Structure 1
């Protein structure tokens, strides 16, 4: 079989009836569907198929599952395992938007979060929105960064994703429109090889309200993907990019496996693959890794 449809549900939520429904849906529109291969019992399975384009198979299976909380990713079987991971940080590798949480230390979280939401949905220029949000933090003591970090939580599956890909020879990079104070700590905690982000400027123990230029935004994320792939001597088809906001969309669309992760509507609509119901382990299942072989558990 030259293609595979991967089905992933919250742990314990993938029934054989769902697999059969997906298999029947593919057969109904002319595909040859093989025997399902369980990657993790009652959680994830591969359904090999041939004779149908990936997007057609995914759409047919999604319709057959009729709103069940199951993530679906269809792709060619060749080259599933990626050799470069590029991941956004906020609301992707960590559960929060760290800038919004930092603003909470200044008592203006709602104001900043409203701007963040619009920027992440592509309604505002990312760089301008970042400058505006940082400007409102002028005078905030840098100790607020430590307090924000103490409350930052990793996304479920983050450690397994990076540890497993590293163990299998992939380069893993955290690329964020957020700030080095947080990306450095997240990278060290999760195990990324490197991190790329923005720098908050400070003076006399307080934020100046400015961010170092040039700002790492949408274009820079795509450029980083291309640069790291070139350094590894691989094509973009051997890369995986994951994120949730509009500033992630270019790298998601350029990567061999680009995943909109619990993403904003504009991103989910434009991405080839999306994860809406499960955690970051889904990105490993999509590459054909078996749950029993995950590292970092």
Structure 2
């Protein structure tokens, strides 16, 4: 079986230096590495002849232990995905929007603690969201725009990832357990075709402390991936899903390539690949795109 093993690092020299170690490790796993193919700065593709992709991933990760190199091991065929489903908070953007709103309300420490536990899978997501939103009761609606302007930034590589996949015919969907106020703006900034999230209930010119039901959580994210794939007439194996928290796990497991980005341990342990060091363009390299194909405008 032909297997793609992709190495990506923010340090180009580290990625190049990892190739001999990977080659030796895979030889021990009864796999043969063909000629490496540079994809871009710090990114190398290896075509591997082997039988067990999981075993090869374990061997590669062991060989790279302690190095700032991300690795993805998957079948060579079908690497370029036709659907991207991405989480927003701490994935496409570098913050948790609800925590930033809580900062304006003076309750960030309390809300952030609940967010962390929910993302680790220690709390029911829906209940944790209701509890956190209740702490925002009375917050002026004008703070939403202020939080977006001052706190929300796309993570490095996010815009390039989305626009490159879209330019190559993929549908790109932002699916968040956060709020539509932010997903609509982030989706436009990054180039997503569609966004799904929860809606905050307003009371006059302030937040009511409630969120509209039903809440978009773990199962709703999975349902979004399944529906988007069905609408496109493609298999779930043609989808790429990325996220960082426990509420992303179901869609990550269902996708053909599920990626954990700077993720909580429960997610990193189950994802097909992890991005702990590189930026979000790693997902393009994982699909075999070269840097020359990136859409960067």
Band of TM-score, shorter chain: over 0.9
List alignment gaps of at least 5 residues for structure 1.
none
- Residue aligning to 1:51: 50
1:156 is matched with: 156
Partner of 1:272: 272
Q: Which residue of 1 aligns with 2:197?
A: 197
Equivalent in the alignment of 1:182: 182
d(CA) in 1 for partners of 2:169 and 2:15?
33
Quick check: 1:25–1:64 contact (8 Å CA) kept in 2? yes
- Residue 143 of structure 1: CA displacement? 1.1
Shift of 1:149: 0.1
Number of aligned pairs?
296
Displacement after TM superposition at 1:54 (Å): 1.4
How has the CA–CA distance of structure 1 residues 2 and 102 changed in structure 2, closer, same or farther, with 3 Å as cutoff? Answer: same
Distance of aligned partners of 1:147 and 1:84 in 2 relative to their CA distance in 1, 3 Å threshold: same
Q: SS at 1:252's partner residue?
A: helix
- Does residue 33 of structure 1 match 2:33? yes
1:110-152 per-position Cα deviation (integer Å, ceiling 9, x unaligned): 1100000000000000000000000011001111111110121
Most deviating of 281-290 and 12-21: 12-21
CA RMSD of aligned residues (A): 1.1
CA distance in 1, matches of 2:272, 2:12: 26
DSSP-derived class of the 1:285 partner:
helix
Instruction: Measure, in 2, the Cα distance between the counterparts of 1:192 and 1:144.
Output: 24
Q: Distance in 2 between matches of 1:15 and 1:245?
A: 27
> Normalising by the residue count of structure 1, what TM-score does the alignment of the two structures yield?
0.97
- Aligned partners of 2:102 and 2:108 also within 8 Å: yes
Aligned position for 1:213: 213
* TM-score computed with the length of structure 2 as normaliser: 0.97
Cα displacement (A) at 1:280 = 0.6
State the alpha-carbon separation in 1 of the partners of residues 132 and 15 from structure 2: 45
Could you tell me how far apart the structure 1 residues matched to 2:15 and 2:55 are?
Answer: 22
Once the 2 structures are TM-superposed, how far is the Cα of residue 16 of structure 1 from its aligned partner? 2.7
For 2:250, the equivalent position in structure 1 comes to 250
Q: Is 1:240 matched with 2:243?
A: no
Instruction: Give the C-alpha shift of residue 32 in structure 1.
Output: 1.4
Give the Cα separation in 2 of the matches to 1:14 and 1:91. Answer: 26
Indicate if the aligned counterparts of 1:23 and 1:47 stay in contact, CA closer than 8 A: no
Q: Give 1:66 shift.
A: 3.0
Matches within 5 A, 1:1-297: 2-41=2-41, 43-150=42-149, 151-297=151-297
Q: Post-superposition, which runs of at least 4 consecutive aligned residues in structure 1 deviate over 2 A?
A: 11-17
Change (3 A) 1:263 1:15: closer
Contact 1:14 1:44 in 2 (8 A): no
